[in-house]
Amino acid sequence: MELLLTLAPDVRPEETERMARKIQDKLKLPAEPDPLKPVRRLRIEGVEDPDGIVSKLREEFPEVSRVVIVKRRGRSHDLDRIAAQAAKLARGEILPHHTFAVDARRLDKDLPYTSRDLAIKVGEAVRRVTGASVDLDSPDRYVDVHVSRHGHLIGITPATLREPHRSWLPSGAFKHVHVCCERPETEYEIADLIRITAALGLGSLILVEPNRDAVRGAEEKVGASSLIDLRIEEDLKEALAEFDVVVGLHPTAPNAESELLRAVEGANQICLLTGSETKGLSREAKELADVLVHLGPTTAEPMRTANAVAYAVGVLAARTVSLGSATAPTLHR
């Protein structure tokens, strides 16, 4: 059996091979950079006890953020063929009473389809063959499909094995928190927002009047775009109408982060409103927000948009979750 390990973003690319050597020495199993994309991705072969190996990885290597059980590698780039293979592999792994989510990643831009295209095609094929339902919030199984110009891999992994379990953080804890970004301009800015929305399991990401080319580039670059509720709107007021409270994040806002906690008290659906990294919030956005807050000291450099969102969610979590406690209360929903 083969495992694919994804290393945390703070692991420098040049450390990938060093991590492979450390893991190989500890596990006494062959470990090397993944040939599909040899940056922050490692393959381990000859695994006989995946539960035991994953448990050891969690204890010894916090740099490992995700583990995928690889069922197949191949050289084809054909979308239909890959989807058919994924469905065939899923037949015995995903039962009708299971739920699943697809994490599709197009690793090279020169392929003639996007990560979203891949996710949709594979998801439809797996659902048709297994009879299982899609659940993007808390699936029983993940179907990972990664494609580069060097070939493809297909993985099917129980959710409990794929990522570390945080007993103190209820599943779907932040589904009531949404992000709305006004006029984002760059691919990197949008890609970071997609990543943080997926990583924290936020309810949705709304982009108002974005740079469309940047959106397309970010979606192609980030496979997680297929796992989130990503919406594009043209009218800011309409985009914000569904939320109970809109909190505008702005580096020179008069209110400190404590005001964020007071504002969201009793709210069911919360929206964190941000501007682009170059222009910030417009006058209209500031007027539409129920409260404007700054995060951290006003003397600090302004945070990047995705960092501000993560910081704000952390403030909300600290209010309602005893970090590290196995008996933490459920977040306000």
Residue 190's pLDDT band, with cuts at 50, 70 and 90, is: very high
DSSP codes, 95-114:
-TT-EEEEEEEE--TTSSS-
Find tokens 């496979």 and name the residue: 223
Report the half-sphere exposure of 69 (CA within 13 A, side-chain side): 21
| 78 three-state secondary structure | coil
Query: What pLDDT, on a 0 to 100 scale, did the predictor assign at position 241?
Result: 92
Token pair of 14, please? 């040049």
Per-residue pLDDT of 276-319, as tens digits, reads: 888 889 999 999 999 999 887 655 566 788 888 998 998 888 76
Token pair of 82, please? 């890959």
Q: How far lies 125's CA from each of 8, 47, 69, 106, 247, in Å? A: 31, 28, 20, 18, 40
Length of the chain (residues): 333
Question: 81-91 in b/e burial notation, b at 16+ Cβ within 10 A?
Answer: ebbebbbebbe
Taking the CA atoms of 263, 312, 104 and 89 in sequence, report the sign of the dihedral they define: negative
Query: What pLDDT, on a 0 to 100 scale, did the predictor assign at position 59?
Result: 86
pLDDT at 333 over 70: no
Per-residue pLDDT of 13-70, as tens digits, reads: 888 999 999 999 999 999 999 998 888 899 999 999 999 999 899 889 988 889 999 9
Per-residue pLDDT of 308-321, as tens digits, reads: 899 899 888 876 55
| Rounded CA separation 13/16 (Å) | 6
Residue 8's pLDDT band, with cuts at 50, 70 and 90, is: confident
pLDDT at 167 over 70: no
Indicate the average pLDDT of the chain: 86
Query: What pLDDT, on a 0 to 100 scale, did the predictor assign at position 223?
Result: 61
User: What is the mean pLDDT of the segment spanning 249-262?
Assistant: 85
Query: What pLDDT, on a 0 to 100 scale, did the predictor assign at position 166?
Result: 56
Find tokens 């400190």 and name the residue: 256
| Rounded CA separation 43/2 (Å) | 7
Own/partner contacts of 277-281, CB < 8 Å, gap of 24 or more, are: 277/184, 277/185, 277/186, 277/189, 277/304, 277/305, 278/185, 279/183, 279/185, 280/250, 280/251, 281/182, 281/248, 281/249, 281/250
Per-residue pLDDT of 91-149, as tens digits, reads: 989 999 999 999 998 888 888 988 889 999 999 999 999 999 998 777 889 999 999 98
Residue 258's pLDDT band, with cuts at 50, 70 and 90, is: confident
Rg of the chain taking only CA atoms, in angstroms: 21
Q: Are 271 and 247 in contact (CB under 8 A)?
A: yes
Give all domains of the chain, ordered by start, each with its CATH number. 2-162 (3.30.2130.30), 177-320 (3.40.1280.10)
| Rounded CA separation 322/13 (Å) | 34
The residues near 191 (Cβ < 8 Å, ≥ 6 apart) are: 217, 218, 221, 222
pLDDT at 168 over 60: no
User: What is the mean pLDDT of the segment spanning 244-271?
Assistant: 88
